[in-house]
């Protein structure tokens, strides 16, 4: 076959350009134009003039990072974390807290307009918590640095595998704000800890849990020494075999219900927002003992158990076997007999779903970021009177809502839940009623 010479495209990566930022997108990035291309600028705010460094250039768009703010916006504030510009955890610390919510509203307005053509959304008051010390669970990355002969631990840098060795993190709840130096020093006293690949922190209602994921065997003697050195944390070990021995399960309480979980289950990380979110769901749904609720992506039963207190029957569906087991256990210990849980991959065909019945009349769904398009496309939506969509991704929410609107539902209420202040995450609750 003939071989043609193809010159390499000139790369603009690393080039500094000057931009005037027009708006910010749903991920909190500045949006500007450069030589006819749309340019997304990390760390830049609407109205600012910035010097930015190109990270990536494609046919129609450029990804860049602000390196100098030439004329700052009035909404710009000093980040409260000294590692903010390196750490990938927060993206909006440079935007003042009240304007973060305004930005998230505008982003959703724009996405709903784009996908559903619905304007003037029926906004309700946002659910909020303290803007710092709100995060009860986090994952800490670890790597053994061969050159320095020590275990490094911290958070991954923005879009990078590098570990930023933070000294403290003020979005974590109090017990874990300063845990990093203690963990670093203690683990580095034990050579056996060099194979720890990550650590999960969880500030549950019944204590603080720290799970170490490791790839090589760690002797019980070392684990016992660490348990003493890292008191009062409850230490847990995961060697990748899928079996972690729990003396006590972590748990949280909402409205007199007790939820136990394991650290591989999904739990909402902002305790205050979770509680308000559940109570808002209960109030918006306004269920009676004639309602039969389908709770899709139900996790450990966070919503299912609360709605089971009012509805006649609840069916919870979830893909993680371990979460389903916890959901069943939680229903049992909270003495709720009108709720059943099923393990099912909701991207699969509904014809395989033994849990589906025609008597279901209320739909609640809380999918992960990929949304719920596959299952919404298959469900006979006509049988539902109300749909409550809890979302952690505004793009998939707006996309999926087109299916609900096409099926004859009207958006009745929508509200932000500021689950992750200072980050680009946008969490939303939307209630649809049959027209």
Annotated binding site: 268, 297, 318, 366
Greatest Cα pair distance, the chain, in angstroms, is 74
Is residue 285 near ligand SAM by the rule CB under 6 A?
no
The smaller minimum CB distance to ligand SAM, of residues 297 and 420, is found at 297
The smaller minimum CB distance to ligand SAM, of residues 138 and 151, is found at 138
In the complex, the smallest distance separating the C-beta of residue 427 from ligand SAM, rounded to whole angstroms, is 9
Contact yes or no for 433/385 (Cβ under 8 A)? yes
The smaller minimum CB distance to ligand SAM, of residues 174 and 345, is found at 345
Contact yes or no for 41/66 (Cβ under 8 A)? yes
The smaller minimum CB distance to ligand SAM, of residues 226 and 376, is found at 376
In the complex, the smallest distance separating the C-beta of residue 395 from ligand SAM, rounded to whole angstroms, is 15
String of contacts with ligand SAM for each residue 336-375, x by CB under 6 A = ---------xxx------------------xxx-------
Q: Which residue among 100, 270, 323, 330 contacts ligand SAM (CB under 6 A)?
A: 323
What b/e string do you get for 336-367 counting C-beta neighbours within 10 Å, with b at 16 or more?
Answer: beebbbbebebeeeeeebebbeeebbbbbbbb
Q: Which residue among 302, 396, 418, 423 contacts ligand SAM (CB under 6 A)?
A: 302
Contact yes or no for 184/118 (Cβ under 8 A)? no
Residues sharing a CB contact under 8 Å with residue 15, sequence separation 6 or more, in sequence order: 53, 54
The CA distances from residue 196 to 87, 91, 202, 237, 372, in Å, are 20, 27, 17, 10, 35
The smaller minimum CB distance to ligand SAM, of residues 144 and 284, is found at 284
Token pair, residue 1, equals 């076959």
Q: Which residue among 299, 371, 394, 415 contacts ligand SAM (CB under 6 A)?
A: 299
Size of the site for ligand SAM (CB under 6 A): 19
Find, among 352, 379, 354, 353, the residue nearest to 365 by Cα. Answer: 379
Q: Where are the beta strands (DSSP E) in 239-338?
A: 251-254, 257-260, 292-296, 313-318
In the complex, the smallest distance separating the C-beta of residue 371 from ligand SAM, rounded to whole angstroms, is 10
User: CB count, 10 Å around CB of 422?
Assistant: 25
Is residue 89 near ligand SAM by the rule CB under 6 A?
no
Is residue 376 near ligand SAM by the rule CB under 6 A?
no
| Integer Cα distance of 166 and 86 in angstroms | 10
Is residue 391 near ligand SAM by the rule CB under 6 A?
no
Of 39, 142, 298, 392, the catalytic one is: 392
Coil, helix or strand at residue 81: coil
| Integer Cα distance of 46 and 26 in angstroms | 13
Question: HSE on the CB side for 73, CA within 13 Å?
Answer: 20
Is residue 266 near ligand SAM by the rule CB under 6 A?
yes
Is residue 205 near ligand SAM by the rule CB under 6 A?
no
Q: Which residue among 233, 303, 389, 432 contacts ligand SAM (CB under 6 A)?
A: 303
Q: What DSSP designation does 331 have?
A: H
Q: Which residues are annotated as a binding site for S-adenosyl-L-methionine?
A: 268, 297, 318, 366
The smaller minimum CB distance to ligand SAM, of residues 224 and 345, is found at 345
Is residue 318 near ligand SAM by the rule CB under 6 A?
yes
Task: Return the axis-axis angle of helices 220-229 and 179-188, rounded to nearest 10°.
Answer: 150
| Integer Cα distance of 73 and 46 in angstroms | 7
Is residue 298 near ligand SAM by the rule CB under 6 A?
yes
User: CB count, 10 Å around CB of 53?
Assistant: 16
In the complex, the smallest distance separating the C-beta of residue 343 from ligand SAM, rounded to whole angstroms, is 8
The smaller minimum CB distance to ligand SAM, of residues 140 and 306, is found at 306
User: Which among 132-140, 169-177, 295-303, 424-432 is the span making contact with ligand SAM, rule CB under 6 A?
Assistant: 295-303
392 is annotated as an active-site residue: yes
User: Which among 59-67, 152-160, 212-220, 265-273 is the span making contact with ligand SAM, rule CB under 6 A?
Assistant: 265-273
Binding site for ligand SAM (CB under 6 A): 266-268, 297-299, 302-303, 318-320, 323, 345-347, 366-368, 392
- List active site positions: 392
């Amino acid at each position: 076959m003939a071989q043609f010479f193809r010159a390499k495209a000139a790369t603009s990566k690393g080039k500094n350009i000057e931009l005037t930022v027009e708006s910010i997108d749903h991920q909190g990035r500045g949006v500007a134009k450069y030589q006819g291309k749309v340019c997304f600028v990390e760390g830049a705010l609407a109205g600012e003039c910035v010097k930015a460094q190109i990270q990536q250039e494609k046919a129609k768009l450029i990804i860049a990072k602000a390196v100098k703010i030439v004329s700052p916006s009035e909404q710009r504030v000093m980040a409260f974390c000294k590692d903010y510009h390196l750490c990938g955890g927060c993206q909006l610390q440079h935007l003042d807290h009240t304007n973060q919510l305004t930005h998230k509203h505008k982003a959703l307005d724009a996405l709903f307009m784009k996908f559903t053509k619905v304007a003037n959304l029926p906004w309700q008051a946002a659910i909020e918590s303290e803007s710092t010390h709100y995060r009860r669970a986090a994952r800490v990355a670890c790597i053994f640095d061969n050159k320095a002969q020590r275990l490094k631990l911290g958070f991954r840098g923005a879009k990078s595998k590098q570990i930023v060795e933070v000294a403290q993190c003020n979005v974590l709840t109090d017990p874990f704000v300063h845990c990093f130096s203690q963990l670093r020093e203690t683990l580095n006293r034990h050579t056996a800890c060099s194979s720890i690949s990550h650590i999960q922190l969880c500030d549950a209602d019944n204590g603080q849990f720290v799970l170490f994921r490791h790839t090589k065997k760690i002797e019980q003697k070392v684990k016992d020494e660490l348990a003493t050195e890292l008191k009062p944390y409850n230490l847990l070990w995961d060697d990748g075999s899928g079996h972690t021995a729990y003396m006590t399960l972590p748990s949280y309480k909402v409205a007199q219900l007790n939820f136990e979980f394991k650290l591989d289950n999904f739990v909402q990380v902002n305790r205050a927002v979770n509680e308000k979110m559940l109570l808002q769901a209960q109030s918006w749904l306004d269920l009676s003992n004639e309602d039969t609720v389908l709770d899709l992506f139900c996790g450990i039963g966070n919503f299912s158990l609360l709605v089971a207190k009012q509805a006649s029957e609840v069916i919870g569906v979830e893909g993680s076997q371990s979460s389903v087991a916890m959901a069943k256990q939680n229903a049992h210990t909270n003495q709720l007999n009108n709720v059943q849980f099923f393990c099912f991959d909701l991207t699969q065909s509904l014809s395989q779903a033994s849990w589906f019945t025609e008597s279901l009349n209320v739909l609640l769904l809380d999918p992960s970021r990929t949304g719920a398009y596959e299952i919404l496309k298959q469900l006979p939506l006509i049988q539902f009177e109300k749909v409550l969509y809890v979302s952690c991704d505004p793009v998939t929410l707006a996309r999926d809502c087109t299916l609900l609107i096409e099926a004859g539902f009207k958006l009745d209420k929508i509200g932000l839940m500021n689950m992750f202040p200072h980050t680009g995450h946008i969490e939303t609750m939307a209630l649809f009623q049959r027209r």
